[in-house]
Amino acid sequence: MAGRGERSATPEAGAAGGVAQPAASDRPDASAAWRAEVQRRLLGWFQQHRRPLPFRSGRTPYRVLVAEFMLQQTRAEAVGPFFERFVRRFPDVPALAAAADDEVLAVWQGLGYYRRARLLRAAAAEMQARHGGAVPSDPAALRALPGVGPYIAAAVGAFAFGRDEAACDANVRRVLARLCDAPRPDAALAARLLPVGRGPEWNEALMDFGSAVCIPRTPRCAACPLSDVCAGRRAGRAALLPERPPRRPRPEVVVTVLVARDAQGRFGLVRRPATGLLGGLWELPAAEGALDPGEVARRHALRLTAAAVPLAAFRHVFTHRAWTVRPFAASAAADGPEPSAVRWVAAEALAGVPLGGPSARLVAGALRPSAK
């Protein structure tokens, strides 16, 4: 269970435009003796350096499933506080299945990738309806749950049910790629290295090793207990592995936002579309472009009661795009001449409303004593 979405350095140019993939028979993992030595050393390292992550204690199939949903594209160290808050609020499948999407999104708020939260709640509803409120142990039933793909299914199989399944996250792929000099490590390679009867421990060892020693871009080879048996290091290209496609440019978008409040001090909020960026979350009225605040108000059928006041602009970076946010403090009437999708929420009720990151920042700023 390690951080997801990590990137390796740009690979050397090879015959096919990347790092050449050696034949499986030429790689060290073809040797049973090499595999046994790697397993011995890595499991020994793990006994001394195992990370005390909160989702590793008190494991149940449900807690494992929640953790694995959260760990998609998110570093393990960042997940801990969110995991503890989530399982306190939704301690089991029935509690999560009975919750409304907004309840789940509000507890998930700050972790990002909100589609994961909606899929997790949908999976809970499916488990409640079809599996008696339990996480199914059958691999096919597990894979049929919303949001459960090959990685989550393997991780739950290993960590919740003790099976010898190889769970390949970014850390694991990086370690295997370097150890075996395999630019594109696959599931067959991961399964071949897994020691029989030690699936859960082996997966965690690889994940922790990739987080602490075999890190992206600058592997700590001098501190590595496997350096003398590492084929990637011997070939002089450990830092270049695994091969990754070039990073696409991140689009830059200007967004004009109204921190709209009515005469009672309530905030005007609108819900984003269910799919896409920040899908289903609430946000302050906004529109793309460096727009006049009156134009943003018009698009949301808001009637401003005073001239909008510009606030400090800021940049908010998402994984695949970045916003330059141009905020304005705006006084508005709660009842305009036209129907509006704006919902007016008192400050004390905001804790139950899932807000997108930029809007959460602006609302928090508006509520600070110095802003009043």
Q: Report the alpha-carbon distance of residue 144 to residue 153 in Å, rounded.
A: 10
Q: Which amino acid is at 50?
A: R
Token digits for 74? 């998110």
Q: DSSP letter string over 255-287?
A: EEEEEEE-TT-PEEEEEPPSSSTTTT-EE-SEE
Give the chain's count of helices (H) and strands (E). 14, 9
Find tokens 């393990």 and name the residue: 76
Give 78-97 as a DSSP string.
Answer: HHHHHHHHHHHHS-SHHHHH
Other Cβ atoms closer than 10 A to 86: 24
Cross-strand partners of 254:
324
Tokens of 346: 């008192």
Say if residue 156 is exposed, middle or buried (CB neighbours under 10 Å; 0-12, 13-18, 19+): buried
Of 6, 12, 68, 338, the catalytic one is: 68
The whole-angstrom separation of Cα 294 and Cα 9 is 46
Q: Please indicate whether residue 68 is annotated as part of the active site.
A: yes
State residue 274 phi and psi, 5-degree precision.
-65, -30
Q: Which residue has the tokens 């501190």?
A: 223
- Secondary structure (DSSP) of 93-137: HHHHHTS-HHHHHHHHTTS--THHHHHHHHHHHHHHHHSTTS---
Q: Are 70 and 79 in contact (CB under 8 A)?
A: yes
Distances (CA, A) of 336 to 26, 263, 267, 330: 73, 13, 15, 14
- Phi, psi angle pair for 85, to nearest 5°: -65, -40
Closest CA to 371 of 261, 271, 293, 285: 261
Count CB-CB contacts under 10 A for residue 271: 17
Active site residues: 68
